[in-house]
């Protein structure tokens, strides 16, 4: 007999037919006549109720049906008599696929803290919360590819190991096969990378952008969706050492086209979640309410589904960095000295606290900031006429702060070279990047969306460690 998944059974109304379900037991309760087993196989936030007439089964078999055990049930699909669910299955045969010793199993049928669940990340998929997050994460991955594919963008795999460290997006992880206890040295006493695997110093990539640009300047519109690595020692709830980034890169797009795409893309993803993940979002919404129930009203988040709809239905506010600085200089927290990093004027780097003030307190909407000072942005961003700013854009979301960073790219060979020299970047090593500006250069733009930042927003979770299966953070590479 073919197995049916729980999600499909829960929607089925062909009562009386025989079905086979396999899954993991969440709970078993009942009395000496009848037992109720809540079974979950990961396909739904809801469990399927299995009803077992105790007289039909060996007592020893029933005892082995404990929380965490895996079973296969053949039974009759029935309309449920009890409240809470529409259908249930009256068990005819039950087979134990895998026992689970209740005394040793860490996941008891009670509330566990998210911190505790991080320590048992190998088992946390079996909780409601991580089941929901895993399904939403999958839906978002799928929606990313669907969005771009329907627009005619090509997905490009950019290298994970790279010899270029010019991007400057963050501290890098070294990749080597050299014996760290016996590093080969040159005559001058420096590390001799010519003896390393690639014959030069290599790292894990912090971004696929530079290679993405090479593809865009032939394929017109491309995107990457891959892992990126940053040795961020910051230990915040918004930074991982290993995270997934989506980086579209488009020929013939100026900064406005770039902003339009970023807005359309993020709204598409949120809308996709609303349309395809409603049961999981409802669960996650209740989880967030429960978590925030002891907070003061003004500190509570907007209800999750309402929040997603609000973003989908409203235009993002677009303003320049300079306008944002004016707002911040006139803000209450600035005047009262409440910002941890004081704003001093044009040139100040915006921290999460400033971004969140603009989004959550001032505009109460997602914000796109443009035209940042050249001094605080990367070398490849297009220089403006004013000689002070670059055509950069950051998309800022409530609760998250920066969710997207992007820009129009400098297409002018001489200006790009001049900037690289000013920043002391190795122009000989970067010849391949410069070549695109020598051979048929065109205006082009792109951005990077941190996938886990998006996941934080969609799920309402507070810590980035809880929206990726196996988080990598300082002092933590377990599992």
| Residue ranges binding ligand ATP (CB under 6 A) | 169-170, 230, 232, 239-240, 243, 245, 402-405, 448, 450, 452-453
Q: Which is nearer to ligand ATP, 42 or 227 (CB)?
A: 227
CB of residue 389 vs ligand ATP: minimum separation in angstroms?
A: 17
Q: Which is nearer to ligand ATP, 208 or 405 (CB)?
A: 405
Q: How far apart (Å, rounded) are the C-alpha atoms in residues 356 and 347?
A: 18
CA dihedral 67, 72, 75, 77 (to 10 degrees): 70
> β-strand 221-229 against 202-204: which pairing, if any?
unpaired
How many degrees, rounded to 5, is the angle at CA 282 between CA 127 and CA 315?
125
CB of residue 238 vs ligand ATP: minimum separation in angstroms?
A: 6
Q: Which is nearer to ligand ATP, 9 or 143 (CB)?
A: 143
CB of residue 458 vs ligand ATP: minimum separation in angstroms?
A: 13
> β-strand 389-397 against 401-409: which pairing, if any?
antiparallel
Name the residue with tokens 């010849």.
431
* Tokens describing residue 289: 């309410």
Closest CA to 50 of 14, 9, 11: 9
CB of residue 408 vs ligand ATP: minimum separation in angstroms?
A: 14
- Strand ranges (DSSP E) for 160-215? 161-162, 174-175, 202-204
DSSP 8-state assignment for residue 2: -
Q: Which is nearer to ligand ATP, 42 or 170 (CB)?
A: 170
CB of residue 374 vs ligand ATP: minimum separation in angstroms?
A: 15
Q: Taken in order 237, 307, 315, 299, is the CA torsion positive or negative? A: negative
- Strand ranges (DSSP E) for 268-388? 317-320, 367-373
Q: Which is nearer to ligand ATP, 23 or 248 (CB)?
A: 248
Q: Which is nearer to ligand ATP, 240 or 343 (CB)?
A: 240
CB of residue 468 vs ligand ATP: minimum separation in angstroms?
A: 9
DSSP 438-459: HSS---EEEEEEEHHHHHHHHH
CB of residue 71 vs ligand ATP: minimum separation in angstroms?
A: 39
Q: Which is nearer to ligand ATP, 91 or 144 (CB)?
A: 144
């Amino acid at each position: 007999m073919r197995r049916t998944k729980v999600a499909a059974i829960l929607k089925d109304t062909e009562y009386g037919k025989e079905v086979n379900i396999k899954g993991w037991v969440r709970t078993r309760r009942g009395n000496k006549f009848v037992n109720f087993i809540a079974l979950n196989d990961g396909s739904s936030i809801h469990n399927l109720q299995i009803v077992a007439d105790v007289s039909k089964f060996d007592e020893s078999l029933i005892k082995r049906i404990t929380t965490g055990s895996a079973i296969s049930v053949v039974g009759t699909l029935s309309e449920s008599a009890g409240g809470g669910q529409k259908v249930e299955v009256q068990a005819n045969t039950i087979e134990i696929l895998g026992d689970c010793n209740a005394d040793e199993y860490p996941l008891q049928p009670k509330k566990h803290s998210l911190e505790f669940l991080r320590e048992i990340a190998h088992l946390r998929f079996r909780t409601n919360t991580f089941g929901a997050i895993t399904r939403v994460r999958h839906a978002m991955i799928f929606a990313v590819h669907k969005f771009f594919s329907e627009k005619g963008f090509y997905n490009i795999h950019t290298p994970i190991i790279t010899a270029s460290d010019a991007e400057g997006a963050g501290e890098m992880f070294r990749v080597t096969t050299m014996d760290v206890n016996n590093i080969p040295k040159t005559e001058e006493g420096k590390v001799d990378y010519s003896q390393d695997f690639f014959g030069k110093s290599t790292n894990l990539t912090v971004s696929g952008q530079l290679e993405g640009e090479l593809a865009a300047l032939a394929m017109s519109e491309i995107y990457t969706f891959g892992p990126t690595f940053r040795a961020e020692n910051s230990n915040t709830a918004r930074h991982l050492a290993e995270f997934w980034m989506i980086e579209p890169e488009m020929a013939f797009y100026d900064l406005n086209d770039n902003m339009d795409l970023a807005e359309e893309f993020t709204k598409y993803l949120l809308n996709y979640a609303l349309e395809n993940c409603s049961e999981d979002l409802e669960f996650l919404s209740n989880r967030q309410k429960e978590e925030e129930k002891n907070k003061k009203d003004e500190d509570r988040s907007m209800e999750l589904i309402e929040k997603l709809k609000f973003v989908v239905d409203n235009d993002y506010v677009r303003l320049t960095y300079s306008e944002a600085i004016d707002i911040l200089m006139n803000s209450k927290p600035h005047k009262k000295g409440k910002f941890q990093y004081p704003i001093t004027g044009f040139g100040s780097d915006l921290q999460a606290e400033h971004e969140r003030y603009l989004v959550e307190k001032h505009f109460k909407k997602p914000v796109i900031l443009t035209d940042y000072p050249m001094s605080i942005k990367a070398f490849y961003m297009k220089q403006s006429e004013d000689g002070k700013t670059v055509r950069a854009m950051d998309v800022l979301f409530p609760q998250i702060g920066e969710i997207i960073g992007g820009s129009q790219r400098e297409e002018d060979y001489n200006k790009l070279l001049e900037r690289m020299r000013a920043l002391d970047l190795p122009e000989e090593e970067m010849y391949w990047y410069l070549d695109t500006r020598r051979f048929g250069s065109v205006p082009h733009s792109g951005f990077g969306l941190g996938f886990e930042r998006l996941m934080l927003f969609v799920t309402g979770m507070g810590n980035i460690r809880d929206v990726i299966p196996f988080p990598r953070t300082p002092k933590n590479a377990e599992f």
